[in-house]
Homo-oligomer: A and B are copies of this chain.
Amino acid sequence: MTSFLPALRDRLGEAGLLTGGDLSAYERDWRKRYPGRALAVARPVSTDEVAAIMRLCHEHRVPIVPQGGNTGLVGGSTPDDSGRQLVLSLTRMKRLREIDAANASLTAEAGCVLADVQAAAAAAGLLFPLSLAAEGSCTLGGNLATNAGGTQVLRYGNARELCLGLEVVTAQGDVWHGLSGLRKDNTGYDLRDLFIGSEGTLGIITAATMKLHPQPRERLTALAACPSIDEAVALLGLARSRAGDALTGFEVMSRAALALVARELPQLRQPLPASPWTVLLELSDAEGAAHAQAVFEGLLEAAAERGLVQDAVIAQNLQQAQDFWHLRESIPLAQAQAGLNIKHDISLPVSSIPPFVAQMDAVLSAYMPGIEVINFGHLGDGNLHYNVQAPAGVAHADFLATHEAAINEQVYDAVQRLGGSISAEHGIGRLKRDELVRRKDPVGLTLMRSIKRALDPLDLLNPGRLL
């Protein structure tokens, strides 16, 4: 071990290896739940350097924690507190290698910030649709390692669906040259999708070729008030059948979620009167404003006729559209202001969302009268952020300390019963590792462990995360 860091410094130079000073930006996760201590932080600038680091780690048996923008929510990208794990920060690998407009694809290195990838696509007249709250600091490599979701999944899919090919450094320090601009390639096992979502435990993604889409001519946003979650689900079906793929957003906000925003952020205008559920719909239109407006009006009229919608408002300009989205995105902020809460990032078949909401509301109010459920999320993807808050007058920290485990149990039991997932888009990391073992199909777990052993027999890649 004494020769490891000097060898690493030889290979990477001064700028490429941090061993002293304040490393807390690399050692602490965004939610500050997992304070850690790194052996050192390696900051390679090329795939060759990543491969060299991995070979040295392999030779010296040094575990490695790959890290992008370090914006993850499950403790997957920071070291433990042993001081023996090397953080591998990809943030200096941020070259945009190629844009191929005719093929509607681009190739970028893992450390590229998501917003920069979006901007590069836009400069070529195309759309890179992956979009999420951390886009100003999260990186493409991290997006792929965690199969990031966000607000455009309904139409464009997760990071997985946007990826055509990868370049990956293996646990042995070899480079898999799997970059590809191909839409079709049936030459063997799907290694790409195996690395995507593996949270850095199977290999280190150094670059990716991503799909681009045509820029829509117009984006139009509306809010609609629904009498119950059943009508919100029915509205989704109607919107899909009438707007087809133009429907790019379908978010829901419960009455309690918007009431919380009204209390905590009273300066935000709420365009519709309070109703049991408020839906944010977004249409992306290939033709233009007039066409989008006509489709939206037709859809909302038909929905009103069927009693799915009680009230609705279409944004009249870009500012209003942004305000609608801001309302939706301010819910986590309002929650943070209100104090700690018990967070869940769950998914269900869309058809199971109404029974889930009904069952859980009953279970939780029986468990503790006055308990508050802040329920919102990407209904179009079946993904709810189902967060639970203390009743008025109960201290939030005490509530968490006493009830978090029991409430998680109730929520995850219901999710499992209804065919859902305990992690829709945030991943497993350290936060949900034990829960995964308890709840995942045992044969699936065995398969996962076999693959991990086959690709990383020394358990050097992000050990203790995910599996």
Contact = CB atoms under 8 A, between A and B. Distances in A.
Contacts of A153: 183-184
A209 to B, nearest CB: 9
A50 to B, nearest CB: 14
Interface stretch (A1-9, A236-244, A361-369, A400-408): A236-244
Contacts of A196: 190
Given A105-B349, A286-B244, A287-B295, A448 B191 contact: yes
Contact of A453 (B100, B181, B244, B454): B454
A344 to B, nearest CB: 13
A347 B450 contact: no
Contact of A421 (B103, B161, B184, B242): B184
Given A147-B186, A440-B187, A286 B176 contact: no
Interface stretch (A27-35, A52-60, A423-431): A423-431
A243 B383 CA distance: 29
The count of identical subunits is 2
A434 B451 CA distance: 25
Interface in A163-186: 170, 174-178, 180-186
A109 interface: no
A216 interface: yes
- Among A161, A183, A197, chain B packs the most CB atoms within 10 A around the CB of A183
14 contacts: A102-B233, A102-B234, A103-B351, A103-B382, A153-B183, A160-B190, A161-B161, A170-B447, A180-B421, A181-B352, A183-B381, A189-B198, A189-B447, A244-B285
Interface of A: 100-105, 146-147, 149, 153, 158, 160-161, 170, 174-178, 180-191, 193-194, 196-198, 202, 214-216, 233-234, 237, 240-246, 284-287, 295, 347-352, 378, 381-383, 419-428, 432, 436, 440-441, 443-448, 450-455, 466-467
Given A176-B441, A188-B445, 7 more contacts: A103-B382, A182-B347, A186-B425, A188-B440, A190-B193, A242-B286, A245-B246
